[in-house]
Every structure is written in C-alpha cells, then in structure tokens.
C-alpha cells in the first residue's frame, strides 16, 4: 500500500555525484602557503601507520630503537617516492601511498617461522626476517603487476555497483575501529582531550568564530596535535608518569619512543640496506594473498571518487573530507615532507615521537569519515527493495562476523581456524578471512552480480545506472589533462 501523494509531502534529498563544498579539486591547487601547511598535515597523519607498524613489529623481530628508527625512515622515504610517482606518472589522483596493515599478519607469520630460531644475535635475526619479508613482498608484487597490465582488474570492477561498493568502503573505515578509541584509552588523559579538541576545532569553531571557517576546518589537525602534544609534554616534565607502568609510560610520555636518540642526523635509505632478500615459496604465496586483499580494499575504495573526485589512503581520505581539499599539489608537497624528514632523521624523529593516543584520536574522526563515505553510496540505490536490503545487511553482517570468528580463534589458540602442516596455506586462508572489508566486499560483489541480475528493474535498484558515465572501455578515456602530461609521456600510453 503506497502513501498518497500531495504537494506538501517532504521530498527526499536528491543524489549528488560529488560532495558539496569541496574547496580545491585535483587540478585547482590552493595558494602556496596554504598548500604547504595542508601538505604538512598529510605528513603528520601519515606518521600514524608509519610509526605504529614498525613499533609493534621491530621489537618482536629482535631489533632495537636504532633498527626501528631506520625502518621508519625507510618506510617514509619509499612512501614519499611512491606518492610522487603516483601523482606524476600514475593515475595522477591525489593518492598518498603508505604502509598497510593488511601485510602485518603474514609478516608476523614469517617472523614466527622456525627457521630463525637458531639465530642467537637479535639484530642478525631482525635482518634475516626483514630480508625474508622483502623477498616475499618482491614476489607478491608481481601479482599486482600482472593483474594491472593484463587488464583483468578492469574487467572485474566493471561489474561493481554502488550497492556492492558500499559495504566494502564502509567496512574499510569502520573495520579499523580497533585503532580508534582503544588507542585513545591507552592514555586517556591525552587521547580523550585530543579527540574533544579535534571535534571542537573542526566542527564547532568554524561556526562560532566568523571568518574562521577555512582556518579552523582546514588546519584542525595542526591545532589539535600541537595543543595536546604540548599538554603531554608538560605532564611528562611535571612528573605525572613517574613510577607508573611501562606500557603507560610508553603511551603517555613524550620521551619514551627512543627514536630521537637512535635516529641518525642524515641518512639516505638504499635498496637492500639489510642485505640481499631471501625467498621462500610458501611465504611468497601467503604474501600474494595479502597483496590481493590489499588490492581489493584500496582499489574499490578509490572507486568512491564518484563522490569526492579522489580518495587517498584511509587516514588521508578522512583528512580530505575534513579539509575539503583534494588538490594534487598538496599531496605532492606532503611527499616532499616525507622524503625530507626521512633523510634528516633527527628532525623526522621529533614528529614521529608524537604519543600514539594523539594519533588514535585523529583516527576516530578520519576512519569515521571513510566509513560514512561508503554508506553515502547507498543514495544511488533503492533501499525500498528487499534485494538491496538483503545484500546490504547480509554482506555487512558476515563482514563483521566471519573475521570476528577468525580473530577470536587466533587470540585463544594462537593460530587460525585453518591449521595444517603447511604454514603458507594457513596464511592464504586465515589472512583474507580476517579482513572485514575483504569478506564483506566479496560477499556483496558475489550476490550483487548473481542474484536476479536478469530482472530489468535490478539495474536501477543497485545504482548501476549512475556509474555508466564514469566507465569507458571502448573509447579513448583520456582527458585534456592527460595530454598535458610532463615530458610528453602521453605518447607512450596508447588509447583503448
């Protein structure tokens, strides 16, 4: 039974192909002083994953503060180079290329393999694990190269719709909730004020102070990090954390990271600085699966550019939504900061020593933006359709439930549900099924492309008609911007 129509009925909000109030898009850079500050913000946000992953893994590998500092420098240096290459020669989207948590489980598996148990020297053990990880990553990278250059992935994403993308992008953001408030609570007297101050500056101050909309909204990260970092410094020198537990001191104090004293003044990372990579077939196959999971998460998340023109790595995507600046120049400047501070180790270590609860407070806002961005894709779908509701609800539920089972099993028994004599096979199954975004996205994609697809009304229900104009497979998809590529590189890219 349908409700009667009348002129006074409220009208729903019409779908928007691009979010409103975007100040600067890809090719419209802000003024240089503003661009530099915005680029520095992206650098600060990038420090989160760059510092957290080595800080968690290096001690277990046998390395100390010196090895941790060098690994952080190397990750920053490579991230800066990759970001520049991506923005100049790649798709040229304002995409920040950084470290991924997807590869951590396989790295831990390599670290716990028995072939390193006979190494007595902890530093030598660290080097061997790093070389084994490098070898697995080198082999795994060939998978993405093959998928990319063969055009296979283009065929896969051709069948993607807003309905199948919404659970994936939503779970990419919301699935990282462990990095949010649990990290804030590790030092609540620093993390909670950081979260409150960030919300006040970014959401309330632009409406309270006239003329401060652009200043507070765009530079909220710099303001909030500076204020809370100063608070943490005063608490540290005031003796607030004297005599407390080791974990509390590591999370709260500003002088416990060990990075500033261990980092060299000037150091340029070089290939194979820890020795020649070692290769193991099983570890390579496991890393390939992790690489495929990362490919699904990152590639499908970038497809959300229909709404905001371009999304970047998870935390930087949230920063884009906060600042409403998606300029390529800003991202290139942030890449310059990454390279600069990775070479000048002491200066970079100062910023890398920001207490982790402050970064976790930023994540609470940024990952929420990413998750909400995924849900916003549902504006193109028919939410009055039982098919839509089934695919959406079932994929999100399994995307949360299946990884929960795998993670609980691993936490209780020390290994995943798939536990055979072949460690590489265990990783190939346990790693993807532990990813919320991968499970939810794959379930939604499978159901959306197979369930009642021949019904003529289904195409509009799944929102596919909204994306038709963004898919070009038989014509030349290049824009005027493409023909302006530097160094006449466009001649090396033939049209379809």
Q: What is the pLDDT of residues 150-205, one digit of tens each?
A: 878 878 888 889 999 999 999 989 998 999 999 999 999 999 999 999 999 999 99
Residue 424 token pair: 């590489």
8: confidence class by pLDDT, cuts 50, 70, 90: low
pTM: 0.87
| Cα–Cα distance for residue pair 277/275, rounded to 1 Å | 6
pLDDT at position 406 is 95
pLDDT above 60 for 476: no
pLDDT of residue 23: 79
Question: Residues 139-163, buried b or exposed e (16+ Cβ, 10 A)?
Answer: bbeebbeebeeeeebeeeeeebbbb
Q: Work out the pLDDT band at 400, boundaries 50, 70, 90.
A: very high
Q: How many other C-beta atoms lie within 10 A of the C-beta of residue 110?
A: 26
**In whole angstroms, how far apart are CA 469 and each of 354, 464, 472?**
44, 10, 8
Would the pLDDT of 468 be above 70? yes
**Region 388-397 average pLDDT:** 97
412-459 tens-digit pLDDT: 998 899 999 898 999 999 999 999 999 999 999 999 999 987 777 788
Average pLDDT, the chain: 85
Copy the structure tokens of residue 441: 């996205």
Sequence-distant (6+) residues with CB within 8 A of 238 are none
Asked whether the beta carbons of 93 and 298 are under 8 A apart, the reply is no
Contact 153, 303 (CB under 8 A): no
Task: Tell me if 411 sits within 8 A of 442, measured CB to CB.
Answer: no
| CA-wise closest residue to 320 among 78, 39, 36 | 39
Give me the mean pLDDT over the 96-108 stretch.
Answer: 88
């Amino acid at each position: 039974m349908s409700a009667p129509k009348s002129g006074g009925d409220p009208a729903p909000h019409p779908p928007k192909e691009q979010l409103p109030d975007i100040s600067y898009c890809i090719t419209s850079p802000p003024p240089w002083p503003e661009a530099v500050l915005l680029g520095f913000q992206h650098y600060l946000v990038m420090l989160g994953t760059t510092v957290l992953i080595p800080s968690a893994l290096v001690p277990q590998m046998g390395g100390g503060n010196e090895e941790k500092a060098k690994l952080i420098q190397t990750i920053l240096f490579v991230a800066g180079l990759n970001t520049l290459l991506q923005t100049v020669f790649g798709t040229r989207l304002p995409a920040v290329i950084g470290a991924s948590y997807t590869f951590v489980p396989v790295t831990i598996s390599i670290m716990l393999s028995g072939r390193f148990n006979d190494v007595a020297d902890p530093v030598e053990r660290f080097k061997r694990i790093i070389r084994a990880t490098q070898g697995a990553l080198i082999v795994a990278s060939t998978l993405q190269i093959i998928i990319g250059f063969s055009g296979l992935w283009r065929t896969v994403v051709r069948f993607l719709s807003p309905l199948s993308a919404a659970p994936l992008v939503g779970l990419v953001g919301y699935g990282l909730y462990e990095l949010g408030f649990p990290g804030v609570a590790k030092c609540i007297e620093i993390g909670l004020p950081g979260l409150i101050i960030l919300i006040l500056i970014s959401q309330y101050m632009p409406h309270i102070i006239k003329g401060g909309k652009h200043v507070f909204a765009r530079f909220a990260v710099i303001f909030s990090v500076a204020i809370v970092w100063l608070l943490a410094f005063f608490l540290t020198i005031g003796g607030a954390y004297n005599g407390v537990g080791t974990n509390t001191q590591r999370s709260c104090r500003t002088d416990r990271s060990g990075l500033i004293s261990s980092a060299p003044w000037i150091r340029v990372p070089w290939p194979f600085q820890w020795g020649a990579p070692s290769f193991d077939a099983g570890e390579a196959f496991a890393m390939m699966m992790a690489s495929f999971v990362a490919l699904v998460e990152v590639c499908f998340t970038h497809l959300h550019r229909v709404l905001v023109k371009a999304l970047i790595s998870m935390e930087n995507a949230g920063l884009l939504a906060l600042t409403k600046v998606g300029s390529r120049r800003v991202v290139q400047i942030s890449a310059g900061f990454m390279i600069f501070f990775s070479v000048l180790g002491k200066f970079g270590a100062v910023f890398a020593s920001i207490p982790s609860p402050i970064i976790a407070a930023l994540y609470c806002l940024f990952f929420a933006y990413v998750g909400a961005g995924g849900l916003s894709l549902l504006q193109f779908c028919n939410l009055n359709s039982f098919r839509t509701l089934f695919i959406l609800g079932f994929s999100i539920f399994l995307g949360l439930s299946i990884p929960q089972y795998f993670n609980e099993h691993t936490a209780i028994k020390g290994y995943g549900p798939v536990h055979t004599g072949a460690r590489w096979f265990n990783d190939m199954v346990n790693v993807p099924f532990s990813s919320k975004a991968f499970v939810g996205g794959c379930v939604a994609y499978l159901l959306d492309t197979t369930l009642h697809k021949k019904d003529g009304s289904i195409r509009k229900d799944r929102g596919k008609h909204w994306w038709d104009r963004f898919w070009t497979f038989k014509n030349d998809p290049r824009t005027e911007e493409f023909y302006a590529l530097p160094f006449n590189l466009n001649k090396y890219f033939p049209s379809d």
